[in-house]
Amino acid sequence: MFRVSRAANFAARTFVVLGGLLMIAYLYPDLNEEKTANLTRVVEMKNRSSVISYPRCQQNVSAAEIPGFGSLSRQIQDFLYYRHCRHFPMILDLPDKCGGDNPEDVFLLLVIKSPLTNYERREVLRKTWAKERLHKGMWIRSVFLSGTLSDGPHKERMNKLLEVEHREHKDILQWDFHESFFNLTLKQILFLEWMENNCNHARFLLNGDDDVLANTDNMIEYLEGLGNYDGRTHLFTGHLITNASPIRWSLSKYYIPVQVYKPNFYPPYCGGGGYLLSGHTALAIYHASELIPLLPIDDVYMAMCLAKANLKPASHSGVKTLGFGSTVEKVQYDPCIMKELLLVHNFPPADIYLMWYELHEPSLTCGHHTEIS
């Protein structure tokens, strides 16, 4: 299945367990408090050994009645069958990432989309721009967002890898849905749901991919310079794309047929490689998303939610999610150019590592501001 995960019947299992506990209490009224607590811990450990799941999301068979459905690829058909599925079991959680019951003043939360197979990228980012730290008195926190692979031994091994990473770094959020390009929007919505429940006081967020170089030091300075930087007003800025149309060519990675999205134009949107937004705007997007069917193109979907909330994206010249054309190589090897920017897309891990080191060299001197358009 394209979007449906394994679903354990958690409600039934819990009912049986609680029934067993009540029976024990009835048969053994003299059971002391310590033994009862021990028994409860055993039950909790037993439950944690299984993936706690929502009931299986059922296929919307009526999707097959959409005109032209039979001519679509299996991938798009599956998307339409399960487009309504928005709740999936959480495998790895971080309920205390932002302070838990004692909320921490998180100034910038780095939200990084990272397939579970991209271990090397995550390791480089943890040593560079995604390292959790206090910068000029402002807390920077990080989370990596991941799904799962299809069933099989490789899935189990990759899940185990993420579990080990999670244990060491405490920066992984993972849900039990199939990791794919068409599920990037689902990943965003699942994160926003998590944020509302666990980190709704974060002031600002960087939402981006794991192949970007983010100058988070510059981001802190930019956000501080806004004047009103408590995150309670609207902010959504990045590489603004306007007058874009859905790609109707079926061989394109970004192909969107009219059965998925009918209009001939997308709303103005910021490239999904990386953009900055306020906590206020992130939650506004989440609430608006409840009224809008999912779209496979996640950055366009964010713009649709913004429009629904009567908000607009803005352009920032320091965010380069589409690269620099013929000058991209120069940018990748010139820290004086990167020093002026907020984010650049499509950086190999080794170049991210080296550039971050060079940006923080005390001996780095740059003669003049270099304009890159």
pLDDT of residue 55: 56
Rg for the chain (alpha carbons), in Å?
23
Confidence band, pLDDT 50/70/90 cuts, at residue 155: confident
Distance of alpha carbon 366 from alpha carbon 358, whole angstroms: 12
pLDDT of residue 182: 94
265: DSSP letter:
S
Phi, psi of 146 (to 5 degrees): -145, 155
pLDDT of residue 332: 61
pLDDT of residue 278: 98
Structurally, what CATH architecture does the domain formed by 90-317 represent?
Alpha-Beta Complex (3.90)
pLDDT exceeds 50 at position 33: no
Give the residue with greater pLDDT, 294 vs 2: 294
**Percentage of the chain with pLDDT > 70?**
81
pLDDT of residue 136: 87
The Cα angle at residue 322 between residues 320 and 328, in degrees rounded to 5: 80
Model's pTM, two decimal places? 0.83
Mean pLDDT of 179-184: 94
pLDDT exceeds 70 at position 25: no
Considering the chain, what is the average pLDDT of its residues?
85
Give the residue with greater pLDDT, 158 vs 326: 158
What pLDDT digit, counting tens, does each position of 121-132 carry?
Answer: 999 999 999 999
Give the residue with greater pLDDT, 10 vs 179: 179
Chain centroid to Cα 206, Å, comes to 10
Q: Where are the alpha helices (DSSP H) in the chain?
A: 10-27, 33-48, 74-81, 119-127, 153-169, 184-198, 216-224, 279-289, 298-308, 328-333, 335-338, 349-359
- Domain ranges (residues) in the chain: 10-48, 90-317
What pLDDT digit, counting tens, does each position of 196-255 carry?
Answer: 999 999 999 999 999 999 999 999 999 999 987 789 999 999 999 999 999 999 999 999
Confidence band, pLDDT 50/70/90 cuts, at residue 270: very high
187 touches 145 (CB < 8 A): yes
Distance of alpha carbon 213 from alpha carbon 312, whole angstroms: 25
What pLDDT digit, counting tens, does each position of 216-229 carry?
Answer: 999 999 999 998 77
Confidence band, pLDDT 50/70/90 cuts, at residue 356: very high
What pLDDT digit, counting tens, does each position of 44-53 carry?
Answer: 333 333 333 3
Which of these, 231, 293, 275, lies nearest to 98 by C-alpha position? 231
